[in-house]
């Protein structure tokens, strides 16, 4: 497995030259044309397609990943994202007109979609293709040059990417820097058009602090503890299948994997039973057999997870088997877990799922709100009011009902955290937008000074009045106070556009149309003209 595979790191002294080469290419406008961008995006898709089996092998080496998971969750989805970008980049990159405004229409205000420069992306080990090449697609589509520092913890996949990229992509516009902390630190000393970081909150703080020194803009895709709230009246079998899949795919090493379950105390055993049945359906020969279930990425993470499990005060419901030589931890459910348990002390990022019994949905919501905003929040319920109550009273990167993790694959949905779970949005069009500078532009003809010449000194009261008449804003009526028993609150006035007035307007138009039909308006008009 990964321990046997040694990556050859990029020499530190090469990093300045890599940065300089890409800066030069960017300034030379290498990816200015959409056609040039599309060539790189298509080449990236072929890089994966032509080396599909080599990637599968590399994933098995690094993560013991079942090949179906590699194909479905990384390779096919990344090829699909290339195709979407290839098909839509013209539309995404089109200059946009600003909304019409009478005052400024003559200046033709537009938003030019321009690349930010050379983008640096530092990626994690857990989805080493999707999270490395996904940002690359967005950055190239937007016309940026791109430096990727993939994870040293997934050396087989990172090594394969580093070997293939120069064969398929233009080395003047895309470079791979292999390495760990030292190489990442060196990269972060340089100024970038944008730094995109995917990984843990701990390292994100280091990345953001380094970026502040060069004023490089940063986006962060982080993780955290994504909760699941279960309404005991939900479709339990479906819920159990989807929660177990979210927990077991990639052995739980997924940023949006369910981290813990909150459920009413008296429903806990029914949930455990449903999860056990899902587990037995998924792994009829047990999860440890080859190509059934992934492995923990390295011994450090294995020991971290084992330590958390050894220290839990919860009750082992099922699972719990471990094998350090294989870096194997069985899918494990721990019930009766409390908020201060070892399993609640950090993002688990492994196949362990604690269940926290609560009194009701209000206690579940309070539990979530007392912690960092999670990257994903899951609710299993058939009751619209139950789901709305949870979503309306919490904050999270995404809010998903009756499924887990699939939202990352849905075209048109952004993937992004809030607060400690990250900032900025990823996937497809959102990745393009992330790496795009919205450059405001207008072209003001000379005659516009006939309208706005009053802005020039010498300033006079007459000019001030003229500008006010052009640009002055009429606010809606002030909110007024209403008293309801002892409570006072502010409410909006109808602002002259009440429903009643709209009805009157429609009635008036209706009467006018009817009169027009019988020729009365025409006769009146003729009479006015004659007079
Ligand atoms: P990590 O933070 O340990 O490492 C990520 C990257 O940062 C690696 O390339 C690593 O070399 C680099 N790095 C490590 N130390 C550094 C330092 N001191 N300075 C600069 N760079 C440094 O993360 P990981 O263990 O690879 O991934 C797991 C974490 O990533 C989890 O928290 C998970 O939730 C999160 N994650 C988030 C998303 C998302 O889309 N939101 C996706 C995948 C993973």
- Tell me, in angstroms, the distance from the centre of ligand 1 to residue 150's CA: 10
- Ligand 1 atom index nearest CA of 297: 25
pLDDT digits (tens, 9 = 90+) for 375-432: 999 999 999 999 999 999 999 999 999 999 999 999 999 999 999 999 999 999 999 9
- Ligand 1 atom index nearest CA of 180: 11
Class of domain 226-410 (CATH, top level): alpha beta
Q: Which of 221, 248, 347, 408 is catalytic?
A: 221
pLDDT score, position 522: 45
Angstrom CA distances, 380 to 18, 179, 364, stand at 49, 41, 13
| Choice from 2, 124, 372 to test ligand 1 binding pocket (greatest atom count within 8 A of CB) | 124
Residues 266/414, Cβ–Cβ less than 8 Å: no
Concerning whether 221 is annotated as a catalytic residue, the answer is yes
Q: Is 395 in the pocket of ligand 1 (CB under 6 A)?
A: no
- Tell me, in angstroms, the distance from the centre of ligand 1 to residue 125's CA: 7
Angstrom CA distances, 202 to 37, 220, 362, 421, stand at 34, 12, 31, 11
Concerning whether 255 is annotated as a catalytic residue, the answer is yes
**Residue range 14-34: average pLDDT?**
98
| Residue 135, H or E segment | helix 130-141
Residues forming CATH 3.40.309.10 domain(s) in the chain: 226-410
Distance CA 248, CA 260 (A): 13
- Ligand 1 atom index nearest CA of 417: 41
**Residue range 120-145: average pLDDT?**
98
Q: Is 222 in the pocket of ligand 1 (CB under 6 A)?
A: yes
* pTM score, whole prediction: 0.91
**Cβ-proximal residues to 124 (8 Å cutoff; 6+ apart), any chain:** 131, 151, 153, 198, 199, 200
Per-residue pLDDT band for 6 (boundaries 50, 70, 90) equals confident
Class of domain 32-96+108-222+430-439 (CATH, top level): alpha beta
Per-residue pLDDT band for 487 (boundaries 50, 70, 90) equals confident
pLDDT score, position 384: 98
Q: Is 182 in the pocket of ligand 1 (CB under 6 A)?
A: no
**Residue range 22-44: average pLDDT?**
98
Q: Is 422 in the pocket of ligand 1 (CB under 6 A)?
A: yes
List the residue whose alpha carbon is closest to atom 13 of ligand 1.
Answer: 181
- Tell me, in angstroms, the distance from the centre of ligand 1 to residue 291's CA: 26
Q: Is 467 in the pocket of ligand 1 (CB under 6 A)?
A: no
pLDDT digits (tens, 9 = 90+) for 488-507: 899 998 755 455 555 555 66
pLDDT score, position 444: 97
pLDDT score, position 521: 44
- Ligand 1 atom index nearest CA of 152: 11
Residues forming CATH 3.40.605.10 domain(s) in the chain: 32-96+108-222+430-439
- Tell me, in angstroms, the distance from the centre of ligand 1 to residue 123's CA: 6
């Amino acid at each position: 497995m990964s321990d046997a595979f040694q990556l050859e790191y990029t020499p530190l002294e090469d990093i300045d030259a890599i940065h300089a080469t890409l800066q030069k290419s960017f300034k030379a406008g290498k990816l200015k044309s959409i056609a040039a961008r599309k060539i790189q995006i298509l080449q990236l898709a072929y890089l994966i397609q032509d080396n599909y089996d080599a990637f599968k092998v590399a994933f098995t080496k690094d993560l013991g990943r079942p090949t179906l998971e590699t194909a479905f969750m990384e390779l096919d989805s990344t090829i699909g994202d290339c195709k979407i970008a290839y098909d839509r980049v013209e539309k995404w990159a089109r200059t946009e007109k600003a909304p019409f405004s009478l005052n400024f229409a003559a200046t033709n205000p537009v938003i030019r979609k321009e690349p930010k420069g050379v983008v640096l992306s530092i990626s994690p080990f857990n989805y080493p293709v999707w999270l490395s090449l996904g940002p690359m697609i967005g950055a190239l589509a937007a016309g940026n040059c791109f430096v990727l520092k993939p994870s040293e913890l997934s050396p087989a996949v990172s090594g394969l990417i580093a070997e293939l990229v120069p064969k398929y992509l233009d080395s003047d516009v895309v470079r791979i820097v292999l390495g760990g902390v030292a190489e990442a630190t060196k990269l972060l000393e340089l100024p970038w058009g944008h730094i995109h970081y995917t990984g843990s909150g701990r390292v994100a703080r280091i990345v953001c602090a380094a970026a502040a020194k060069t004023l490089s803009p940063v986006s962060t895709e982080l993780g955290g503890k994504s909760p699941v709230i279960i309404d005991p009246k939900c479709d339990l079998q479906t819920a159990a299948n989807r929660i177990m899949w979210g927990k077991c795919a990639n052995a739980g090493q997924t940023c949006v994997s369910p981290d813990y379950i909150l459920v009413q105390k008296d429903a806990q055993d029914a949930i455990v039973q449903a999860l056990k049945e899902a587990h037995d359906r998924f792994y009829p020969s047990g999860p440890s057999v080859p190509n059934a279930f992934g492995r923990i990425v390295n011994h450090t993470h294995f020991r971290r997870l084992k330590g958390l499990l050894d220290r839990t005060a919860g009750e082992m419901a099922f699972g719990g088997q471990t094998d350090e030589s294989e870096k194997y931890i069985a899918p494990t459910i721990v019930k009766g877990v409390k908020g201060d348990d070892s399993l609640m002390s950090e993002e688990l990022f492994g196949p362990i799922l604690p269940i926290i019994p609560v009194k009701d949905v209000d206690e579940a919501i309070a539990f979530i709100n007392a912690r960092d905003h999670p990257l994903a929040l899951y609710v299993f319920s058939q009751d619209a009011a139950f789901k709305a109550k949870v979503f309306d009273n919490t904050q999270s990167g995404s809010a998903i009902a009756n499924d887990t993790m699939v939202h990352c694959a849905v075209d048109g949905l952004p993937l992004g955290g809030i607060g400690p779970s990250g900032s900025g949005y990823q996937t497809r069009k959102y990745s393009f937008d992330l790496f795009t500078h919205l450059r405001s532009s207008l072209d003001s003809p000379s005659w516009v000074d006939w309208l706005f010449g009053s802005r020039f000194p010498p300033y006079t009261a007459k000019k001030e009045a003229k500008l006010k008449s052009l640009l002055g804003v009429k606010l809606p009526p002030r909110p007024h106070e209403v008293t309801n028993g002892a409570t006072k609150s502010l409410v909006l006035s109808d602002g002259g556009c009440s429903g009643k007035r709209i009805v009157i307007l429609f009635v008036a138009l209706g009467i006018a149309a009817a009169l027009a039909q019988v020729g009365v308006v025409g006769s009146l008009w003729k009479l006015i003209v004659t007079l």
